[in-house]
Every structure is written in structure tokens, then in C-alpha cells.
Chain A
């Protein structure tokens, strides 16, 4: 991975006090922008990425040479129209695509942090990203948008900076990670820890990365992003390039082969320690708890317009958890819209070509911008 030359970074000089108690300073935030900021600086949208996303939302990702993770939704004339809006996305801290993370060197010891990197939270992530808004001299974002962990960041951002966004779009997310969410993340972390190459987080040479553990973590997580119906329709019991069962443990079924492939491509682009840190941040997320159990209080300072979107077949962040956010907002008379999109594509629906979702997102943004 030759990363350096394709990655824009902002070096944050201001110290940032993390939830864990430690303070970081002089840390890099890697970001990318799309479209252009208008003179009034009122057309900026901050997009937050999910667990394994990065700052390269759309077009060609120069690191992976594949399409950006939200190419269906972001681009010229798309839902988040880069002809109209200035779109900013940054790699979360703890990540592995340029922002301050466990694969960086500790300036004090000159050794790679590994698991000596401080444990970070969703709150830390958005506080770090806030520096970008200041960097661009944007007083108020037109919108903040994100799905899954990106949605959690959206909620945390507007709670921390209530007057810094006009519209707020959390998608397929939750205000509090459930026991089931934590359980799946723990499964992934334990898969990584069980790989002897992980070595308590100290793997520096490329030949000894815990790729097997990370691949299993990805395979397990990938299942949670799809629906049973979606899997059945796509794969059923179809066999992988063979006429019959082989009575062995090769990938007989297409679904096995598919998951193995997903695991293998993931290890080329993602760092195992980052996976530990980011899943931990998600598990620690409980916005209501930050306000003594009253989620409404997280939003009582903001006048922003919310639009919450869930998907029928998403069992990882089901509709009810999204609706709980709607309920908390309605309880304080906030301006909130909500729609549950019909889709068989599971949690991943927000990343895929789901026309009802893409048109709802576009309509909400474009109509809100006219009223701006």
C-alpha cells in the first residue's frame, strides 16, 4: 500500500482530550473533498464513514483502485450532488488510512503504537473531525450525513455542536450499541486476537500481519450486513464451480467462497489493530447515557432539521432502534422526519443501489437546500 502521496492530511495542533483521559496533539486527520465550497460557505456536507470506510467516498479510491464506498449516493447529480454541494469526509481517528491511529509511531518512543494507542470513542472521533470545519472556515454545515457508525457520529456531532449543522441525516444506526452489536464485535476482536501473528498488537513487518484472524472477523461481520433473504436469493445452496459436494472442507458452496473472498480482500486494505479500536469505539457508544439516560437531552440545544432513515431487512440496527431516535426528538418537538425503506439487502442497503433510499436522500437534501 503506497498511501502517502494520495492522502490529504490536516495536522491538528490543538490538544484534544480523549474520553479515556489521555490528551493527544499534533495529530493528523486524513480527509478528502468533492465539489467546491461556494462563496457563502453554506453548501458543505460532512459525511462520516462506517466501521471499515475511509475518506474516499466516491470515484476511484486511489489506495484500493476500486470505487469509493458510497459511489451510489455521492457524485455529480447523485443523492449527495457534488455539482451542488461541497462534500468533506475524513478518516476517523483510530483508522488506518492516514488519520492518527494504532499503525502510527508514538512520537515519544518512535515505535508503532499498536495496542498502546489510546482507546478512542465516537465522541473523540467527531471532536477530532470538528477541526476540519474550522480549517475550511465553515461556520455552519448544510448537512451531516452517515450510515451505521457514520450515523452514530452524526448523532454525536450534532449533540456536541448543536448549531453547526442545518440538517442532520443519521442512517441505519442506533443511539446505543446493543448487546447483540457488542457480541458480534467481540467475535471479530477475538478472531484477531486468536491469530498468533497478532502478537498482542505488535506486528510490524508485512509478512506477519494477523490476516487470518482479521479475515474471519470480516467474514463474520459481513454476514451481519446482509439479510437471510438476500443471502438465500443470491447464493441459496449453489455450489462453487463443482458438480457435486466434495466431502471435504474446501469451499463447496458459493456462500463459503464469497465470504472467503470478502475476508481476503479486506486484509489487504485494513489494519487489524484499527479494527479492534474502531469496534471498541462503537461498543462504547451510548448517547443517552451521556445525558443521564435521557436521549432527548442530547438534542435539546439544536434547531437542526433531522431526517432518519432505516431499512426493513436491517437486523443489525433495526428500524425500532432508529425509531427510538425519532421518538426522543419528537419528545422535544424537534423537526424530524423518518422513513423506513423497503429493501432485502440488509444493513448494507445504505451502501447499495436502493432507489427509494437514494431518491429520499436526494429529495430531502435538495428541498432543504432550496429553503436554506
Chain B
């Protein structure tokens, strides 16, 4: 299991109720269910991936976060997880609001567009950056709203959303983000993980 999921799993206590939005093949869900006794649900748009979740015995709903989160009642989950898909929505702000309405807390991870390799790629090559976390070309990327760790921190603060934990990930390297190291982490992390609440 990738490092990102290990960090997410550590943020969630045992026996909680969790919704994984964009749960893909259910890797994280399965881990949480088996190791932390989590009452876990998934929402996934791809039919193939929904089938993979069912084959793992996971409860998953085929659907689209922008339309289908609205059917869940307020605060009906302890945690709602959104892994690396915020940037792919038409209206990320609306999705964040929905995550925080449905979940008591939300865990959001974002690929960091401020990562030094991305900056260097754009500076030296002058073309849209392609990295391990952002492997697609500009014309076929699903990502509509890329942001940096700094952008995300500024955004949530401006919306009066509480940040409980900010974590920077660079390959195997996990470190916490605070006000004083924000600039540095924004340069060296390729992924940001945030535990938030409203």
C-alpha cells in the first residue's frame, strides 16, 4: 500500500465510520476495514473499479462526488476521505463544503503543484510538467484545478475551515507542515495531506 494511504490510515482511529470518496479499487478501504475495524463505504465513478471493490467485499456506491454526496445526511460519517481528486472536480470548493457537511472531519490529499520538480520542469522546459503524481499530458489530464500546498492552506484558512493536521509527503518521507516551514514544504513535498473540520 502506498505511503499516502498509510499516513491517512494513521489519522483515523479504530471503529469509526468512514466514507472514501473516489475509493478506486478499494485498497485503502480494505486496509481500514481489516486493520482498524472501520465501518467503511466508498463512492466511485468508474464501473471497473466498483466491480473490484465488490470483489473485495466492500460496500461501494457507483456515483460522482459532485452529484452524489448530497444524498448523505449531515455529519453521517466520522471521516470523509478524498485522495488526490480535488483538483479534478469542476467546482472543488463545492466538493470541500460537501465533504465537511457529510463528515465530522475530512482528510484531503492534494498533489502539490509547488513541488520543485514541477517548478523546474516549467522553468527549464517551458512545457506543462509531467511527474509521477501528475503523469498526464495537458490535453488529456483529468486535472482542472491544480493547486499548491500553500494555495490549499490559504484557501481553507480563508473559508474558516480548521486544519488539525497538515502533512507533507515526499516519497517515503513524512513530515508535518506548520506556519514557519510552509514555504519549504511547498517546495519539497509532492503531496500534501490535510485533516480538516468545519
Contacts and interface: CB of A to CB of B under 8 A. Distances in A.
A330 B19 CA distance: 12
**B interface SS class:** mixed
Interface residues of A, number: 24
Interface in B33-78: 41, 47, 50-51, 54-63, 71-73, 76
A363 interface: yes
A364 B54 contact: yes
B57 A359 contact: no
Given A331-B71, A333-B76, A359-B51, A367 B61 contact: no
Interface residues of B, number: 18
A330 B70 CA distance: 10
Nearest to B73: A331
Interface string B92-107: 0000000000000000
A290 B41 CA distance: 29
Nearest to B102: A330
B61 A326 contact: yes
Contacts of A371: 57
A19 interface: no
A15 interface: no
Given A364-B54, A370-B57, A339 B47 contact: yes
Interface string B153-190: 00000000000000000000000000000000000000
A327 B62 contact: no
Interface in A321-342: 326-327, 330-333, 335-342
B57 A338 contact: no
B62 A338 contact: yes
Nearest to A340: B62
Contacts of B50: 339
A339 B62 contact: yes
A364 B58 CA distance: 8
A337 B63 contact: no
A356 B51 contact: yes
Most buried by A among B58, B60, B62, B71: B62
Interface in A288-343: 305, 326-327, 330-333, 335-342
A360 interface: yes
A368 interface: yes
A359 B57 CA distance: 12
B59 A337 contact: yes
A171 to B, nearest CB: 14
Contacts of B62: 338-340
Contacts of B55: 359, 363, 367
Interface of B: 41, 47, 50-51, 54-63, 71-73, 76
Q: Lowest 10 CB-CB distances: which A-B pairs, in order?
A: A367-B57, A327-B71, A337-B59, A338-B61, A363-B55, A330-B71, A363-B54, A339-B62, A339-B50, A360-B54
14 contacts: A330-B72, A332-B73, A333-B76, A336-B61, A337-B58, A337-B59, A337-B60, A337-B61, A339-B60, A339-B62, A340-B47, A356-B47, A360-B51, A364-B54
Interface of A: 305, 326-327, 330-333, 335-342, 356, 359-360, 363-364, 367-368, 370-371
Given A337-B59, A338-B63, A339-B47, 15 more contacts: A331-B71, A335-B41, A336-B59, A338-B61, A338-B62, A339-B50, A339-B51, A363-B54, A363-B57, A367-B54, A367-B56, A367-B57, A368-B57, A370-B57, A371-B57
